[in-house]
Chains A and B, each alone.
Chain A
């Protein structure tokens, strides 16, 4: 039976989970917006960061939130190297070739994780993992809520950088028209390199939040990649605000599907939602038209 309390519960936990999806998607939208490269290894890079958080906890006893800080730099470096070594050489080779390249990276990362960590799921046990706030009978998971807040914080910081700083202006100029940006004296390749590195580094934030309550397996990547792609598409290609709100919507839709549907068909809901959105807003929720 579906009661109001259950609905509210679903809405809230969906919204909070959506905040984390939003950050995953935001990172993808950023790199897609600036490089026009579809990164199918996005989820696998996230998976690596999640393993990173596990390792840091096991070796040094670091809380996953600290892992965000520690992992950001190695992830930045990883992204930087990946761009220079693998993405840059195929940047002008067409979307498919790039997709293929990132799929190759995805295979490598997934297999490496399987070799190093095994197929068992790994997690980090923390004090706060089960902590909840109870508001009027609705349960709010503390790690989820903090994850949501961290996601908001990072997204806010990101939009401040993009809108309020010179570096941000260079990024936006490159996103809008790389040729024009080059004419205006922007070092486009450098900008793209750092944006890609940054989008990978953002995943450290996601990983830290996820590892406070979730777990990781080597195959976890693909579902996050697909999810992020859909969210980015749903929000409007390369539109950061759209990606963020798209993430929230997917989180909520997923939770509501859990309430209303009780069969193997349930997970189809977000894909149907995606299709319907395109039906009514082909440019995505916040896109300003897409001529690709």
Chain B
């Protein structure tokens, strides 16, 4: 049985090379991989990113492909990591060595992004993250890692800015604040950073409650928050737990002003899951990297809605963004050399007007973070999600904190 192993190796080799060979003979598209969890617990992220990517590639190629390279079409290979760091690591090596990928896009959760970044560094392979918000990678001195995505710090700063704005407009004593968050890195890091900022800005934090995303019954957690009687709840979570928590709030008659973050509060299906009236009542708002109602997002939102029958989630926007980022980088570098791509990334400056995101620009700092990254805050008003912050792209003003 053992002697079969090389045979397996051959089979793998054969299977892996089939699509590449087939493509090499056609119009020679440029293949850029994106790593993302298509299956497993993080599949929601990957599935939506895949849709966004497909649309982005379609638009790019319809508009003439990569012009600086003779109009070669772009092809984005969606690579499933199942959200597991070991697969992210193996895939980075495969993409770097076997597929000789010029760069890799990241649509991965933070654990996989962390593992992948290590090996991008080892191989000198540009790795551009458009999904994970964990900022700790930026402090590790990587040369090949770039993050287009907002970071937890950006998120916390936006949270605070909006909170201050609301407090000022309301007048009177500063509002009391509670933190509620799911305890994976996504929620807990944002909440911890924000808590520090909010406290140092003079707000009183009256409750700090975390829960596991898998928790089926959030009534007690929410009751705990309710007891502290906060005016504002800052809530970082995913769709399932935010939906469960909102239901609990409704049952407990607990209607604070909710400033959310993470994929949950901004999920376009939230009214479907919880009911639009209550969402309006708590002014559910989200610090988000995507504002579906903004003018600049229209070129993505309209065809997406037509094709898939639903408003794109923020996750879907990552896919579309990543495709266009890849295009911009390739246009600038003009060749598939990794060093050239890295310098193209360093010199990149895409103005906000060309983006579908609320970012001011895409422009990378020496540590790899996006200087132009900027969050929008969207708020559910009258059953629709409207961008209410920052003022320069806001469609509507945020609902007032008091006097409701």
Evaluate contact between A139 and B219: CB separation under 8 angstroms: yes
In the assembled complex, how far is the CB of residue A240 from the closest CB belonging to chain B, in whole angstroms? 23
Residues of B within 8 A of A267 (CB): 212, 214-215
Evaluate contact between A114 and B210: CB separation under 8 angstroms: no
Q: Which of B33-62 contact A (CB under 8 A)?
A: 39-41, 43-44, 46-47
In the assembled complex, how far is the CB of residue B109 from the closest CB belonging to chain A, in whole angstroms? 13
A267 to B183, CA, bound (A): 11
Q: Is A213 an interface residue (CB 8 A)?
A: yes
A168 to B43, CA, bound (A): 44
A113 to B231, CA, bound (A): 41
Q: Which of A132, A258, A263, A264 has the most chain B CB atoms inside 10 A of its CB?
A: A258
Which of B188, B227, B243, B244 touches A1 (beta carbons < 8 Å)? Answer: B227
Q: Which of A1-26 contact B (CB under 8 A)?
A: 1, 3, 6, 9-10, 13-14, 17
A201 to B180, CA, bound (A): 38
Q: Is B220 an interface residue (CB 8 A)?
A: yes
Evaluate contact between B247 and A213: CB separation under 8 angstroms: yes
Residues of B within 8 A of A132 (CB): 251
Q: Is A125 an interface residue (CB 8 A)?
A: yes
Evaluate contact between B39 and A258: CB separation under 8 angstroms: no
Total residues of chain A contacting the partner, CB 8 A: 38
Residues of B within 8 A of A10 (CB): 219-220, 223
In the assembled complex, how far is the CB of residue B42 from the closest CB belonging to chain A, in whole angstroms? 9
Q: Which of A247-289 contact B (CB under 8 A)?
A: 251, 254-255, 258-259, 262-264, 266-267
Q: Is B142 an interface residue (CB 8 A)?
A: no
Closest to A12 in B: B219
A262 to B207, CA, bound (A): 11
Evaluate contact between B215 and A258: CB separation under 8 angstroms: yes
Q: Is A119 an interface residue (CB 8 A)?
A: yes
Evaluate contact between B216 and A214: CB separation under 8 angstroms: yes
Residues of B within 8 A of A3 (CB): 227
Chain B 203-233 interface 0/1 with A at a Cβ cutoff of 8 Å (1 = within): 0000011111011111111011001100000
Q: Which of B155-203 contact A (CB under 8 A)?
A: 183, 188
In the assembled complex, how far is the CB of residue B209 from the closest CB belonging to chain A, in whole angstroms? 6
Q: Is B2 an interface residue (CB 8 A)?
A: no
Q: Is A218 an interface residue (CB 8 A)?
A: yes
Chain A 122-138 interface 0/1 with B at a Cβ cutoff of 8 Å (1 = within): 01010001101000000
Q: Which of B264-286 contact A (CB under 8 A)?
A: 269, 272-273, 275, 278
Assuming the contacts A139-B252, A215-B240, asked whether A123 and B215 have C-beta atoms less than 8 A apart, the reply is no
Q: Is A151 an interface residue (CB 8 A)?
A: no
Residues of B within 8 A of A34 (CB): none
Residues of B within 8 A of A165 (CB): none
Chain A 215-226 interface 0/1 with B at a Cβ cutoff of 8 Å (1 = within): 101110001000
Evaluate contact between B44 and A119: CB separation under 8 angstroms: yes
Closest to A132 in B: B251
In the assembled complex, how far is the CB of residue B206 from the closest CB belonging to chain A, in whole angstroms? 10
Residues of A within 8 A of B39 (CB): 111, 114
In the assembled complex, how far is the CB of residue B131 from the closest CB belonging to chain A, in whole angstroms? 15
Residues of B within 8 A of A111 (CB): 39
Chain A 69-101 interface 0/1 with B at a Cβ cutoff of 8 Å (1 = within): 000000000000000000000000000000000
A119 to B221, CA, bound (A): 26
8 A–B contacts, CB within 8 A, in A order: A3-B227, A111-B39, A114-B39, A118-B47, A139-B252, A141-B251, A258-B217, A259-B220
Question: Which A residues are within 8 Å of any B CB, using their own CB?
Answer: 1, 3, 6, 9-10, 13-14, 17, 111, 114, 118-121, 123, 125, 129-130, 132, 139, 141, 213-215, 217-219, 223, 251, 254-255, 258-259, 262-264, 266-267
